[in-house]
Amino acid sequence: MSRAAVPGLPSRHPIGEQLPALYADDDFAQRFTAGLDTVLAPVFTTLDNLPSYLDPRLAPADFLSWLASWVGSLDDPRWPVELRREAVARAVELHRWRGTRRGLVEALRLVLGVSAEVSGDGGATWSRTAGADLPPAPAEEVLVRVWAPQAGSAGSAGAVNTVDADRVRALVRTLCPVHTVCRVEVLPGPPTGEGR
């Protein structure tokens, strides 16, 4: 989308009206400044609406990639525009939770529309006492179990949803902390048992 030339866009600040009285009746000066108004009208319109360009819920669709780069948000031009807007709007919140179970579950829900359960902590240990023995070794992997929302449930469109395992694995690889080994399981439905 180009904002460089918008045919017929009136200027909210015509230059000809701001000239000294000497040029108010000068035909050449008025035509010359009208040409400048045609060039500057999109600039003034953009500046007058600048807050809307910086709000992901109002910005033109072609600005979303730019806004996403500002906040380090996930962005894919193939996603629906509303999903891209939501990802940019929630970027700060998701960054706050990045590398945690909650962050991974929220990102999977937002980006892929799947439900998830994360278990394991990826092997991070520490001790409060210097020189003390380390705590027992934790599980070495993080297990991410995903499933499609049930038809008719919140977040589903009423149709039977499927899970694209490759996209889930790619997103989990992107969001899991680098020191962890993440394993993904795709389930046919919500898990049952004590973990839920």
Rg value, the chain, Cα: 27
Residue 70 placed within a domain? no
pLDDT at 106: 92
Question: Looking at the structure, do residues 43 and 112 belong to the same domain, yes or no?
Answer: no
Q: Are residues 45 and 109 in the same domain?
A: no
Same domain, 117 and 176: yes
What's the average model confidence in pLDDT over 147-161? 58
Q: What is the pLDDT of residues 126-143, one digit of tens each?
A: 778 888 887 776 667 888
Assess if residue 4 is contained within a domain.
no
Which structural domain range is residue 147 located in?
101-124+139-190
- Residue 156: C-alpha distances to residues 36, 102, 151, 152 (Å): 52, 20, 6, 6
Measured distance CA(156)–CA(152) in Å, rounded: 6
Q: What is the pLDDT of residues 16-44, one digit of tens each?
A: 999 999 998 999 999 999 999 888 888 88
- How far is 44 from 12, CA to CA, in rounded Å? 7
Highest mean pLDDT range out of 2-6, 48-52, 137-141? Answer: 48-52
| Residue found by looking up tokens 């600040």 in the block | 13
DSSP conformational letter for 185: E
How many distinct structural domains can be found in the chain?
A: 2
Q: What is the pLDDT of residues 98-134, one digit of tens each?
A: 888 899 999 999 888 899 998 876 666 677 888 888 7
pLDDT at 138 (0 to 100): 63
Task: Please state the pTM of the whole predicted model.
Answer: 0.63
Asked whether residue 183 is assigned to any structural domain, the reply reads yes
Please report, for the domain that includes residue 147, its CATH number: 3.30.300
State whether 31 and 109 are in the same domain: no
Tell me 115's DSSP state: E
Q: 130 is written with which tokens?
A: 């210097």
- The pLDDT assigned to 196 comes to 44
Residue 123 main-chain phi, psi, to 5 deg? 90, 15
For residue 65, being part of any structural domain is answered with no
Exposed, middle or buried, 88 (CB in 10 Å: 0-12/13-18/19+)? Answer: buried
Residue 69 has pLDDT above 80, yes or no: yes
What average pLDDT does the structure give for the chain? 83
Q: Provide the pairing of β-strand 181-187 with 141-147.
A: parallel
Residue 150 lies in a domain: yes
Q: Is residue 153 part of a domain?
A: yes
In Å, how far from its chain's centre is CA 174? 15
